[in-house]
Chains A and B, each alone.
Chain A
Amino acid sequence: MADDLRTLADEDLMQLVRRGQAAAFEVIYERHSQAAFSLAYRMAGSRGVAEDVVQEAFLNIWRSGARYERARGSVRTWLLGIVHHRAIDALRRSFVHEKRRASDEGIAETLETGERTDVEAARSEEAATVRKALLGLPPEQVQVIELAYFGGFTHTEIAEMLETPIGTVKGRMRLGLEKMRHALGGGRVSQG
């Protein structure tokens, strides 16, 4: 049964998850747990916190699968949005802010780039495109985007940190996203 499920698109799997099919959910987990964990780890800088974040996010998704709506975008985007929320919750609630910058566990845990499936190779290319778009921004725009999205800081905190007016920080965020959008071709990056 699991093999049959693996041929289904995420959106179809979510229909089964909605009906309480654990096997369908497991396929969703297997497809997206790496991206989820990577994002959580990037934000928290700690394996333990990242594990908690991912576990919470996936259980939340399992219990609320009925709330996914196709029209809102891909399952992957939806799911990573939930992980991002959970990670920000963790960051803003706690001590992680102080620790996460210096990853104490880093390099060895990064995935080997050896055996990649076609899907993974495509995602790797997309990741490179996004990284290029992000790093192609003026440094002050990259800085506020990274502090906000991956650091979980509010614009007020960022303004204090950089000793820059809040309006300037907000302006850099918007400008940065606009330039990224253009660099990405103005269209959606496939995340499916």
Chain B
Amino acid sequence: MRTGPDHERWADSIGAYLLEALPDDEREGFEAHLADCPTCRRDTDELRVAADALPMSVEPVAPPAALQGRVMTVVRAEAELLAASGPGADRPEPAADPGRDVEEAAPGRTSAARGRRAGGRGRLSGGRFLGGVLERPAFALACALVLLVLGGAGGALLRGGGGDEAPGPRPPALRTTAAQIDAARAPNASVRLEQRDGSARLVVRDMPAPPAGRLYQVWLKRPGQSPEPMPVLWAPRRDGSAEVYVPGRLDGVDAVLVTDEPRGGAQIPSKAPVITAVPA
């Protein structure tokens, strides 16, 4: 079978590649070689059987039941939003992790496609969805339209949980705290932060519409860090009400903030928050 250029140099890297033990730059070099070397492609495919089996050697450990609730809360909210946006809507994608997307999950399976990998590894938590939203103005606009036009029935992104399909475990305790409001910008508004196990939402009343061309955006503020943008762009219903789902976990979060931002959202708050809610 034909071998590619530099075959001798790369042939020993197959094991390290399948075990994800190659540094990023070396992995890219190997993948480039893989694209041109049928022998290495064959060997990689054969040895993948062993690498793919490794997760099965692990002792089984049960995940916490609340994890399912947290995951499904986000999934249901996004599913409702997609449904409300119609079949042509952009599907949200993870975007803040250009070096490691799902398509690239199996070493060597997509050698051609993987050549475009940007390198580097992404953040673990929070804000990943926002990148997708911000890169997809149609989807961001759909968020706003769903809320503005359909009101309560369409406030999909803003509802944590709900729906009648295969609900996850229902955590029992509800903790509620009142949020601070910027009275100059929202003189009549009242907002409370509701936390139930791992999920949280802002319950908003008498909130004015955001300024023209802008939407409200949610941020999570952690000690010593800049506010982290959340994938929630929203506007209240005509009566000033909204239930705003807060994604992510609030462990270690000082405050949930809301600012008004351009319709595409922002990575850094452009104004002081109009809502500041301190988790219980």
Residues of A at under 8 Å CB distance from B?
A: 1-2, 20-23, 25-27, 29-30, 33-39, 41-42, 47, 50-56, 58-64, 66-68, 72-73, 77-78, 80-86, 88-90, 92-93, 109-111, 123-124, 126-127, 130-131, 133-134, 145, 148-150, 152-156, 158, 167, 169-178, 180-181, 184, 186-189, 191
Contacts and interface: CB of A to CB of B under 8 A. Distances in A.
Which residue of A39, A155, A158 has the most chain B CB atoms within 10 A of its CB atom? A155
B71 interface: yes
Interface of B: 12-16, 18-23, 46-47, 49-64, 67-68, 70-72, 74-76, 78-79, 82-83, 91-94, 100-107, 109-110, 121-122, 124-125, 128-129, 132, 163, 165-166, 168
B100 A1 contact: no
Contacts of B15: 170-177
Given A37-B62, A84-B105, 18 more contacts: A33-B68, A34-B60, A34-B62, A42-B61, A51-B64, A61-B102, A63-B93, A63-B132, A77-B52, A85-B105, A89-B121, A130-B56, A133-B50, A148-B20, A155-B22, A156-B23, A180-B50, A189-B56
B50 to A, nearest CB: 4
B60 A51 contact: no
B91 A155 contact: no
A111 B79 contact: no
Interface-centre pick from B13, B68, B83, B104 (highest chain A CB count, 10 A): B68
A109 B64 CA distance: 10
Contact of B67 (A54, A80, A181): A54
Contact of A33 (B22, B56, B63, B93): B63
A165 B92 CA distance: 45
B121 A77 contact: no
In this complex, which of A73, A89, A191 has the most chain B Cβ atoms within 10 angstroms of its Cβ? A89
Contacts of A88: 20, 121
6 contacts: A23-B165, A38-B59, A111-B62, A126-B56, A148-B21, A155-B22
Contacts of A170: 12-13, 15-16
A3 B161 CA distance: 20
A74 B216 CA distance: 41
Contact of A155 (B16, B52, B56, B68): B16
Contacts of A133: 50, 53
B124 A22 contact: no
B51 A20 contact: no
B222 to A, nearest CB: 14
Nearest to B47: A177
